[in-house]
């Protein structure tokens, strides 16, 4: 089952600057080989359900390994059976409708 | 890794009444043996990371099996290494602070 | 426009124990007169769109006033035009379908 | 109070193709003058709290006006008092840490 997901990972009890942790998350994701994309409020990622969930779990474990006592994550994900769709298709489909 | 999670599952392209789908999700969760709790905007659930994620995946598969072409889910989850905490502890801890 | 909402408010840079902040949020909400309900991963609330948003804004301001430098909130909300629905109806509607 | 937000708007009971609705949301946002950015799972937006919330409310009203009976939105937002930060700063700050 292919999933298009986005997630925001929040280290709690680890101070106020989150970018060192988000950078580490990006490194973890780069190691998975999954398509992923950083944006201002999180990271989009896609792949097989289990691969995506294993990647997010690895991010939690990595942050805890860096000494973060509490990690909160918000995940949004979509699956569909009517057709095959990729992350890039979603944005392209909206942009096509916005073209004058 | 123990996780306290909450999720909201939204069937798309399946009409406007969501309660038949949410009821089916509750049945799926009941079959997992995990602690779970329905509320007005979703369901809270806790357990080992993989067990919780497998349960949510089963919900997606069940809704697709009912003919829903597109399923969108929002998951929030927390893990912590500083101490053992259960869902019931979280609410109790806030209520204790609200007592006059 | 009536809205049924749920939100999770996360103080960042304020240590690891969140319950003192969540308790304060509950006090702010109690002062609004809006129907609201604490659960293990957040608080459900309903009312007119602007009243609900003003309440959540007051929670942010209150936490900043307590010295929290950074506040992250996740809100889910639904509006509908087909019929009038209240928070309590949503849970009752699912439970009715689960009755043997 | 400046807020950096992201939101995902889901029309329910309006069929399976969401891009016509997301395109209309983009048009509404373009009319607000607020900085905003479409990505694969939603739209990021920033500005004063009330301006951002009014923009999201206008999106709900627009979709209902297009005949969508039920609209569900997920919003994530952050406010901070320790320093001034813009959406672009967040991504730049992570990328700087990833540079070899």
CB contact under 8 A, A1 and B70: no
- Domain that residue D89 falls in: 2-98
**CA–CA distance, D30 with A97 (Å, rounded to integer):** 14
Report the residue of A70, A74, A93 to disrupt the B interface, i.e. the one with the largest count of B CBs within 10 Å: A70
The reply to whether residue A74 touches residue B73, judged by beta carbons under 8 angstroms, is no
How confident is the prediction for chain A on average, in pLDDT? Answer: 95
Distance of residue A76 Cα from the nearest chain B Cα, in angstroms: 4
Across the interface, of A16, A19, A74, the residue whose CB is closest to D82 is A16
> Who contacts B86 (Cβ-Cβ below 8 Å, separation ≥6)?
B4, B35, B46
**Sheet containing strand A42-48, strands side by side:** A35-39, A42-48, A2-12, A70-80, B70-80, B2-12, B42-48, B35-39
Q: Say what the pLDDT of residue C92 is.
A: 92
* Nearest chain A CA: its distance from D27 CA (Å): 8
- Give pLDDT, residue B99: 84
The tokens of D87 are what? 């959406």
Q: CA-nearest residue of chain A to C11?
A: A12
- B100 falls in which pLDDT band (50, 70, 90)? confident
Instruction: State pTM to two decimals.
Output: 0.96
Give the pLDDT of residue D60: 97
Q: Which two tokens stand for residue B61?
A: 């598969």
Q: Say yes or no for a CB contact (<8 Å) between A73 and B78.
A: yes
Contact at CB, B75 and A70, closer than 8 angstroms: no
Rounded Cα gap, residues B75 and B44, in angstroms: 10
Per the structure, the count of domains in chain C is 1
Distance from CA of B3 to the nearest CA of C (A): 12
Residue C99 is predicted with a pLDDT of 84
Task: In whole angstroms, give the CA distance from residue C33 to residue C36.
Answer: 9
Q: Is A13–C10 a contact, with Cβ atoms under 8 angstroms apart?
A: no
Nearest CB to D80; choose among C49, C69, C79 = C69
| Residue C32: DSSP 8-state | T
**Helices B19-30, B49-65: crossing angle, 10 deg rounding:** 140
Chain D neighbors of C80, CB-CB under 8 A:
69-71
- Statement: residue C49 has pLDDT above 90: yes
**Which value does ipTM take for this structure?**
0.94
Displacement of CA B63 from its chain's centroid (Å) = 15
How distant is the Cα of B64 from the closest Cα of chain A, in angstroms?
7
Q: B36-53, pLDDT tens digit by residue?
A: 999 999 999 999 999 999
Task: Find, in chain B, the residue whose alpha carbon is nearest to that of C81.
Answer: B16
* Contact criterion met (CB < 8 Å) for B10 and D69: no
The pLDDT tens digits for A27-53 are 999 999 999 999 999 999 999 999 999
CATH number at residue A82: 3.30.70.930
Q: Is the pLDDT of residue D14 over 80?
A: yes
Q: Quick one: pLDDT at residue C60?
A: 97
What are the pLDDT digits (tens) for B5-45?
A: 999 999 999 989 999 999 999 999 999 999 999 999 999 99
**pLDDT 10s digits, B49-84:** 999 999 999 999 999 999 999 999 999 999 999 999
Distances (CA, A) of D47 to A41, D1, D2, D40: 14, 8, 5, 21
């Amino acid at each position: 089952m292919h999933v298009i997901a986005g997630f925001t990972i929040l280290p709690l009890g680890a101070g106020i600057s989150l970018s060192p942790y988000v950078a580490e998350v990006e490194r973890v994701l780069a190691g998975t080989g999954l398509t992923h994309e950083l944006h201002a409020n999180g990271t989009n990622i896609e792949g097989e359900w289990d691969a995506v969930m294993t990647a997010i779990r690895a991010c939690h474990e990595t942050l805890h390994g860096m000494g973060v006592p509490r990690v909160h994550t918000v995940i949004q994900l979509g699956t569909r059976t009517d057709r095959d769709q990729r992350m890039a298709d979603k944005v392209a489909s909206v942009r096509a409708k916005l073209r004058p």
